[in-house]
Amino acid sequence: MVTPARELAARGRAQAAPRERRSWLTPVGRRYFLLVYGLVIIGLVFVFSSSYPQAGRPTEQGGDPYYYFWVQLRYALAGLLGMLLVARIRIEHLARLAPWGFALGWLLMIAAAIWGGRVHGAACWLRWPVPWQPSEFAKVAYLVLVAGCLARGPLPRESVGRIWLPVFALTAGMVFILLWQRDLGMAMLIVGFALGMALVGGMRWVYWVPLALGAGAAGLVLAWTQPHARVRLEAWLHPEEHVPGPGLHVYSMLIALARGGLGGQGLGFSPDKWTTLPFPHTDSIFCVIGGELGLWGGIGLIALVAFLAIWAFAVARHCPHRLGFFVASAAGMMLALQGFMNIAVATASMPVTGLTLPFISAGGSSLISCLLTAGLVLSVAAEGPARGEG
C-alpha cells in the first residue's frame, strides 16, 4: 500500500518535469469511475427501498413514496457533474485552490456552530438555500491540503516543522470545530484519516503507535465527559440497559441484519424499515441491504468499499509525481474509512457516529462531497504514467 522510498524519490524528481495531460479514461481511471458509478446506482436503489415506508405515510412529504429517491437522484446528477469537472482539472491547480476552499469551509463550519440548525444534537447544518453540511466540503479541501504537505519531499527528522506540524495544525483545526459542533463522528473520521496518512507518508511505527494510542485515549476521555457521546458509548457497551432508547437502536440494527440470513429476504422485503430500524435510508442503510440481500450481499458491498481504497492506491501508483500519489491515496483512504466506520456502527462493532455510507446513504452534502473526492482520484488518473508504465 505504501510506495517505497526510492519510488517516492523518483516521483519527486518528476514533480517539476513537463507532463502530458491525458483523459481520465485510462484503464485505472475507467475502473474507478465504474466502481463509483455502480455504488451510486446501488445507493439510489436502496434509498428508495429503505425510505418509501416513511415517505409514503400521509404525514411525510405529502405521502409521496418516491420523495427521497427523487431528491437523491438530483443530488447524484449534480455530484456526478462535479466529479467530472474536478477530473478535468490538473491536480496542482486543485492543490492551489485547496487553501481557499479550506478557509471558506472552516468559516462556514464556525457559522454552522453558532447559527446553524441542530440535527440529533449536532450543530453542523446551514439551512440556506437548502440544509447542508459545510464540514463535508471542508473535508475535501482538508484532504488535499494534507496530501500537499506530505508531497513536499522526503521525510527525514528535520521535516517535522515542514510537514508534520502543518498536518497536525490542519487536523487540530478541523477537529476543534467539529467538536464545537458536537459532531464526534466526523471528528473521529478526521483523526483516523490523519493517522492513516501518517503511515502512507512514512512515519515510523515507533512514533505512530504512541500517537495512535494517545489519540484513542483522548477520544475515549472526551466521549466519556460529553453527555450525548457518553450515552452512545454506554448503549454500545450495554445495550440492554438503554432499552427503550439508544440500546434499542443497536438491537434493531443487529436484528435487521440477522433476518437476512445468507441469501436475504428479497429486495424491498425487509420488515424492520417499517418499524424499529433507526434512520433506515441514512445511518442504517447497510442494515437494510443486509436484510434484503443477506450475508453475501453485505460481504459484496464491503468488498466494493474496500476497492474504493485499493483501486485509488492503484491510481496513485500510476502517477509519476508525489502530489498526485498522495492526493489519490488520501481520497481513497477517506472514502473507504468512512464506509467502514458506517458498517462498523451497523454491525455494533463501534458506537453510533452518524456517518453516512459513501455513495449509498441518502444525503445531498455527503453524496456530493464523496463524488468530488472521487473526482480527485480521476484527476490523478489523467496524469502521465509513472516509470515503467505504458
Dihedral of CA 78/83/88/94: which sign?
positive
Continuous H helices in the chain: 5-14, 27-55, 67-87, 91-115, 134-150, 165-180, 184-200, 205-225, 227-237, 246-260, 285-317, 322-346, 364-381
Extract the C-alpha cell encoding 174.
478541523
Residue 285 backbone phi and psi in degrees, to 5: -65, -30
pLDDT score for 5: 46
Which pLDDT does position 222 carry in this prediction? 82
- Supply the Cα-derived Rg of the chain in whole angstroms: 21
Give the pLDDT band of residue 159 (cuts 50, 70, 90).
low
Average pLDDT, the chain: 86
Long-range contacts of 223-230 (CB under 8 A, 24+ apart): 223/184, 223/351, 226/182, 226/184, 228/121, 228/182, 229/184, 229/351
Our CA angle for 161, 165, 168, nearest 5°, is 170
- Mean of the pLDDT values across residues 177-205? 90
Type of residue found at 335: L
pLDDT class of 162 with cuts at 50, 70, 90 = confident
The pLDDT assigned to 239 comes to: 79
When mean pLDDT is compared over 22-36, 40-54, 226-240, the highest value belongs to 40-54
Distance from C-alpha of 300 to C-alpha of 326, rounded to nearest angstrom:
27
pLDDT score for 234: 81
pLDDT at residue 154 in the model = 62
Question: Which percentage of the chain shows pLDDT scores above 90?
Answer: 50
Mean pLDDT value across residues 70-80: 96
Long-range pairs for 169-178 at CB < 8 Å and ≥24 separation? Answer: 170/102, 170/142, 170/145, 170/146, 171/146, 173/106, 174/106, 174/135, 174/138, 174/139, 174/142, 177/106, 177/109, 177/110, 177/113, 177/135, 178/109, 178/124, 178/135
d(CA 337, CA 353): 13
Q: Is the pLDDT of residue 238 over 50?
A: yes
Query: Cell triple for residue 299?
Result: 460481504
| DSSP at 204 | -
- Residue 250 is predicted with a pLDDT of 85
Least confident of 122-131, 272-281, 341-350, 358-367: 122-131
CA atoms of 305 and 81, how far apart (whole Å): 22
In this prediction, residue 61 carries a pLDDT of 57
Q: What pLDDT is attached to residue 21?
A: 61
The answer for residues whose C-beta is within 8 angstroms of residue 148's C-beta and 6 or more apart is 95, 98, 323, 326, 327
* Measured CA angle at 278 (ends 63, 227), to 5 deg: 130
User: What integer pLDDT is reported at residue 390 of this predicted model?
Assistant: 39
Choice between 4 and 299, residue whose per-residue pLDDT is larger:
299
| pLDDT of 227 over the 50 cut | yes
Q: For the ranges 101-115, 189-203, 223-237, 353-367, which has the lowest average pLDDT?
A: 223-237
Greater confidence (17 vs 232) lies with 232
Q: In this predicted structure, what is the pLDDT of residue 158?
A: 53
| Burial environment of residue 342 by CB neighbours within 10 A (0 to 12, 13 to 18, 19 or more) | buried
Residue 349, classified by CB atoms within 10 Å of its CB into exposed (0-12), middle (13-18) or buried (19+), is: exposed
Residues 42 and 302: beta-carbon distance below 8 Å: no
**SS3 call for 117:** strand
Is residue 14 scored above 70 in pLDDT? no
Q: How confident is the model at residue 385 (pLDDT cuts 50, 70, 90)?
A: low
- pLDDT for 339 beyond 50: yes
The rounded distance, in Å, linking the Cα atoms of 306 and 312 is 10
Closest CA relative to residue 256, chosen from 361, 343, 346 = 346
At 232 the pLDDT is 79
pLDDT at residue 9 is higher than 70: no
Give the domain ranges of the chain: 91-355
Average pLDDT over residues 218-226: 83
Distance (Å, whole) CA 115 – CA 153: 41
All three cell numbers of 366, joined, read 455527503
- Which residue has 437494510 as its cell numbers? 288
pLDDT in tens, 177-188: 998 888 888 999
Q: Does residue 346 sit in helix, strand or coil? A: helix
pLDDT in tens, 252-296: 889 999 999 999 899 988 888 888 888 899 889 999 999 999 999
